[in-house]
């Protein structure tokens, strides 16, 4: 489809990112929106507004829209059954958006879309088997198995963030009924919770001073303090990394991936987070998988889901036309 573009939309647990993307997966325009606290009708309106802004830039070149949404999707019907961290439930999302936008719309899970992008042109390029985790408000998971995106029997598989790592752990967030999920223990939300606890336990730390100054101890603040050498902030990131390592150990033992790709906003911590992850996996995982797996950062960063959603739209158009773009 020479000269044409699709719009990829990544709806995360707290924000939306949309972009006009060409067939080489280069991004030409971006639109961002906050999603926190919105009900379902407002979420739809905000998504439409972001797509229309992006479409206005790209003009007649836009052929379709792809959405990555943080929802369990029944691909037999296209119904978004439930979202853990957004007010999306029991909605045939693609049909609703196609009617609002007047364009072909293709929909999948947001972490699946990040995995698609990283496999198509990023950190998992050329791999037949890969695991992807996106660490943000929650934790999303995506799987590449034998060179294909794995969705499960009806399209709701690979919810790796809801792997239990402590059966007596804290209740998971949002609409998850479980306890001790890796999302509850090691997401950006968990990082903020642990940072607040640490600030109260270490009154002389940079974390404590930031809290006293009224700064929310979310990922960016904790990461900045850790990079500046604050011992308490470093300890929090190491704790989150160790917990992620426990979960990733199970994924390495189960799937024997060539690579585990980790993305999302929390990965701004970089090697401060990757080092305890790798150390835990090296200690706990079984050979030979532990000896061959690579654990790396996502190449597309926080844009992976958006780019993957755009690729999904290109693929969907290709299937309709009997070819792949």
- Domain total for the chain? 2
Quick one: pLDDT at residue 4?
86
Range of the domain at 67: 5-110+302-321
Note whether 165 and 294 are same-domain residues. yes
Quick one: pLDDT at residue 300?
95
pTM, whole model, 2 decimals?
0.91
Quick one: pLDDT at residue 322?
57
Note whether 59 and 17 are same-domain residues. yes
Note whether 293 and 306 are same-domain residues. no
Kindly list the averaged pLDDT for each block of 10 residues, start to end, along the chain of length 325: 81 91 93 93 96 88 94 90 86 95 95 96 97 94 96 93 96 92 96 97 97 93 96 98 98 98 93 97 98 97 95 89 51
Quick one: pLDDT at residue 83?
86
Note whether 79 and 178 are same-domain residues. no
Note whether 10 and 158 are same-domain residues. no
Note whether 235 and 138 are same-domain residues. yes
Q: Where are the beta strands (DSSP E) in the chain?
A: 5-11, 15-22, 27-34, 62-69, 71-74, 79-83, 89-92, 105-109, 130-135, 139-145, 148-150, 259-263, 294-297
Domain membership flag for residue 190: yes
Report how far residue 290's alpha carbon sits from residue 278's, in angstroms, rounded to the nearest whole number.
10
Note whether 236 and 105 are same-domain residues. no
Q: Domain with 184 in it: what CATH number?
A: 3.30.420.40
Note whether 307 and 290 are same-domain residues. no
Note whether 94 and 168 are same-domain residues. no
Report how far residue 83's alpha carbon sits from residue 100's, in angstroms, rounded to the nearest whole number.
21
Note whether 234 and 316 are same-domain residues. no
Domain membership flag for residue 271: yes
Q: Which residue has the tokens 């604050």?
A: 230
Domain membership flag for residue 131: yes
Note whether 129 and 248 are same-domain residues. yes
Domain membership flag for residue 116: no
Quick one: pLDDT at residue 319?
73
Domain membership flag for residue 118: no
Distant-in-sequence, close-in-space partners of 212: CB < 8 Å, separation ≥ 6: none
Note whether 164 and 311 are same-domain residues. no
Three-class secondary structure of residue 77 per DSSP: coil
């Amino acid at each position: 489809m020479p000269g044409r573009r699709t719009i990829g939309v990544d709806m995360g647990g707290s924000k939306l990112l949309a972009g006009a993307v060409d067939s080489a997966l280069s991004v030409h325009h971006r639109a961002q929106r906050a999603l926190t606290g919105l009900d379902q009708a407002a979420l739809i309106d905000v998504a439409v507004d972001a797509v229309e802004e992006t479409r206005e830039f790209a003009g007649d070149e836009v052929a379709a829209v792809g959405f990555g949404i943080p929802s369990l999707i029944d691909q037999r019907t296209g119904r978004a059954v439930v979202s853990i961290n957004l007010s999306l439930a029991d909605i045939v999302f693609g049909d609703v958006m196609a009617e609002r936008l007047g364009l072909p719309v293709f929909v999948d899970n947001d972490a699946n879309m990040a995995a698609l992008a990283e496999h198509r042109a990023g950190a998992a390029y050329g791999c037949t088997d890969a695991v992807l985790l996106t660490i943000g408000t929650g934790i999303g998971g995506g799987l590449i198995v034998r060179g294909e995106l794995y969705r499960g029997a009806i399209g709701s598989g690979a919810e790796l963030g809801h792997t239990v790592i402590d059966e007596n752990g804290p209740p998971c967030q949002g609409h998850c009924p479980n306890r001790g999920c890796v999302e509850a223990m090691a997401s950006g939300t968990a990082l903020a919770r642990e940072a607040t606890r640490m600030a109260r336990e270490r009154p002389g730390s940079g974390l404590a001073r930031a809290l006293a100054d009224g700064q929310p101890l979310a990922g960016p603040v904790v990461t900045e303090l850790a990079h500046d050498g604050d011992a308490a902030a470093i300890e929090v990131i190491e704790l989150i990394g160790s917990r992620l390592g426990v979960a990733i150990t199970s994924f390495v033992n189960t799937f024997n991936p060539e690579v585990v790709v980790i993305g999302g906003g929390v990965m701004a911590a970089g090697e401060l987070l990757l080092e305890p992850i790798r150390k835990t996996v090296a200690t706990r995982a079984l050979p030979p998988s532990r000896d061959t797996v690579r654990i790396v950062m996502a190449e597309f960063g926080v844009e992976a889901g958006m780019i993957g959603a755009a690729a999904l739209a290109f693929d969907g158009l290709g299937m309709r036309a009997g070819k792949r773009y």
